[in-house]
Structure 1
Amino acid sequence: MNIKKLAVFALIAGSLVACAHTSDRKVSMRTVTVPQLSAYNWQLAEATDRQGQPLPGFAAGSSMTLNFSGQRLNISGGCNNIISSYQLNDQDMQIHVPVSTMKACTPDIMAQDTAVMAFMNGQKLHVGLLNAENNQNEQPLLLIENQDGEHLLWRGIPAAAAQYGQPTVVFWEISPQTQTCQTAHGAAQCLKVREISYNDQGVKVKTGVWRNFAGKIDGWQFNPQENQVLRLNVYEVKPDDVTGTAADNQYVYKLDQIIERSVVTSPKRKYK
């Protein structure tokens, strides 16, 4: 999505009161509040420098997600989870030095972690919303600018807990191999998943059997070069009809954290 086009829209909307001030491109924004930050999962849509060129290290189609909880933020979807505390004052956000888990991944994914750490590392950032305040149906867009005039644009997805209630937490191992399976819409390539159980000390105590999964995991992208263990939040979406049976229930799967990941070195093959 092009920042210049968004800026034109924001000016037409008429309700935006401030501008990002360090870049060569003036982008009108309005103030965002802590409750608004916490109400959404923010998915990275664009990473650009002050001239509007793509920032090195940020891959196209990135699954990087930014979440806020109170005065803490968490970035996931790259290789490691990146956590920091922050303070919001009008359109200024002071980021404390972030900390990261220490997992190793493929170079392109590691590069995203390095890039976002460098963008936010202990800086005072300029933040705001691009959407018109009176447009309740529009997906919110959060713009974060650092002191070098670089921009990260995030698209807000409503936090699942506000929609569905509290989730069930599960741990799934995801195979780098897929399998052809039959769905209601015909043949498809399904993920191979199996459930992992841990004790209170975080030690793996049980591994389930492999099964097909034809659904979607929000905030996560399949990588055939990696074997991964994910911590997922699973939300039950009950049918509107109170007479519906348990079979009518649907589930929403959202990535909470990548617990383990390892690079596959042997040639891939598909299950028959």
Structure 2
Amino acid sequence: MNIKKLVVTALIAGSLAACAHTSDRKVNMRAASVQQLGAYNWQLVEATDRHGRPLANFAANSALKLNFAGQRLNVSGGCNSIGSAYQLSGQDMYIQAPMSTMMACAPDVMAQDAAVIAFMNGQKLHAGLLNVEDAQNPQPLLWIENQRGQSLLWRGVPTATSQYGQPTVVFWEISPQTQTCQTDNGAVQCLKVREIFYNDQGVKVKTGVWRNFAGTIDGWQFNPAENQVLRLNVYEVKPAGTADDTAASQYIYKLDQIIERSEVNSTKHKHK
């Protein structure tokens, strides 16, 4: 059963029960724990109103992600990073007024950011894991409903931390120009990157030298029209099935946040 059929089955199965809040539907679900929420990256599957119709402003970008760390949550994948403190009490999730970074993007993506904030809006939400089991789709599904009966459905993907351990945090400046470089697979277009170092007060204290990077950064797309500074989580993956400490490790690079971006040939910067 694919994820779409899984979602539809869950919604139809629960639609015969009494409504939870103001929604015309109710899904069968169980309470989630803080540990369960934090073990996954939650990717948006669908956004619907109280009647099950698609929510306006959520169709512009399907890359929305929800992450939990301790007692804070963060929504990314749109234009800005949106975060808030939260508390769980059974199937109730209490959200404080969300805070957002202040970058400007295309109007439809900005409208999606506003829709996310309006959905949470410092209120009590109804949240839980759907009671659906399917061997072909072991990823959990998280249902979040606000008091207007609007709902967001998220699919959980295990976090890199739960798979590989704690990451190293680095800051990279990415040049808008690429560079041809040689790899084991022949000539490719490499990113030009250099590491940025900040002190405890967030002041830039040192800049590394430019170098070529032939790998990929999960959750990020190269934009030749922008110069960007990224905060990255770097995970070390040791070779499986060996106790040899000298065996070469592999590294996984994941975007945590774009903290600075500027247009090419422009002195106007947009900061975090």
Q: Would you say same fold, with TM above 0.5?
A: yes
Between Structure 1 and Structure 2, how many residues are aligned? 261
* Structure 2: distance between partners of 1:172 and 1:102: 20
Give the deviation of 1:137 after TM superposition: 6.8
Amino acid at match of 2:36: Q
User: Which runs of 5 or more residues in structure 1 are unaligned?
Assistant: 267-272
1:31 alignment partner in structure 2: 31
Give the Å deviation of 1:123: 1.9
Hey, what does 2:82 align to over in structure 1?
A: 82
In 2: Cα distance, 1:91 partner to 1:32 partner:
7
Partner of 2:107: 107
Aligned-partner residue type, residue 59 of structure 1: A
Contact 1:95–1:123, Cα closer than 8 Å, also in 2: yes
User: 1:27 Cα shift?
Assistant: 3.3
> What CA distance in whole angstroms lies between the structure 2 residues aligned with 1:82 and 1:91?
22
Counterpart for residue 53 of structure 1: 54
The superposition leaves residues 20-61 of structure 1 with CA deviations (integer Å, 9 ceiling, x where unpaired) of 553344433232122111111222333333433253155233
SS at match of 1:84: strand
Displacement, 1:229?
A: 1.0
1:229–1:259 Cα contact (<8 Å) kept: yes
Distance 1:143 1:104 in 2: 29
Aligned to 1:6: 7
Partner Cα separation in structure 2 for residue 186 and residue 144 of structure 1: 47
Matches within 5 A, 1:168-183: 168-183=168-183
Check whether the contact 2:141–2:153 (CA below 8 A) recurs between aligned residues.
Answer: yes
Question: Does structure 2 retain, via aligned residues, the 8 Å contact 1:57–1:112?
Answer: yes
**Aligned-pair Cα RMSD in Å:** 3.2
Q: Secondary structure at the match of 2:174?
A: strand
Structure 1 Cα separation of the partners of residues 169 and 18 of structure 2: 40
Asked whether the 8 Å contact 1:170–1:232 carries over to 2, the reply is yes
TM-score by structure 2 length? Answer: 0.79
CA contact (8 A) 1:7 1:27 kept: no
Alpha-carbon spacing, 1:115–1:201, altered in 2? closer, same or farther (3 Å):
same
How far did residue 79 of structure 1 move? 3.1
CA–CA separation in structure 2 for the residues paired with 1:178 and 1:171: 18
Query: What letter matches 2:194 in structure 1?
Result: R
- Counterpart of 1:6 in 2: which secondary structure? helix
Contact 1:18/1:29 (8 A) holds in 2: no
Task: Give distance in 2, aligned partners of 1:24 and 1:3.
Answer: 21
Determine the C-alpha separation between the residues in 1 that align with 2:223 and 2:46: 21
TM normalised by structure 1 equals: 0.79
SS of 1:87's partner is strand
In structure 2, runs of 5+ residues without a counterpart are 267-272
Residue 37 of structure 1 aligns to a residue whose secondary structure is helix
Q: What does the per-residue CA deviation read over 1:70-95, in whole Å, with 9 as the maximum and x for residues that have no partner? A: 22212233333322111222222121
Q: Quick one: which amino acid aligns to residue 155 of structure 1? A: R
Name the residue aligned to 2:244.
243
AA aligned to 2:145 is E
Q: Is the 8 A contact 2:28 2:131 kept in 1?
A: no
Distance 1:180 1:67 in 2: 36
Per the TM alignment, residue 165 of structure 1 is displaced from its structure 2 partner at its CA by: 2.0
Runs (4 or more) in structure 1 with deviation over 4 Å come to 1-5, 9-12, 17-21, 133-137, 179-189
235-244 or 257-266, larger mean C-alpha shift? 257-266
Q: Is the Cα–Cα contact under 8 Å of residues 57 and 114 in structure 1 kept in the other structure?
A: no
Q: SS in structure 2 opposite 1:253?
A: strand
Distance 1:164 1:262 in 2: 33
- Percent identity of paired positions between Structure 1 and Structure 2: 70
Deviates more, 1:207-216 or 1:195-204: 207-216
How far did residue 107 of structure 1 move? 3.5
User: Structure 1: which amino acid aligns with 2:172?
Assistant: W
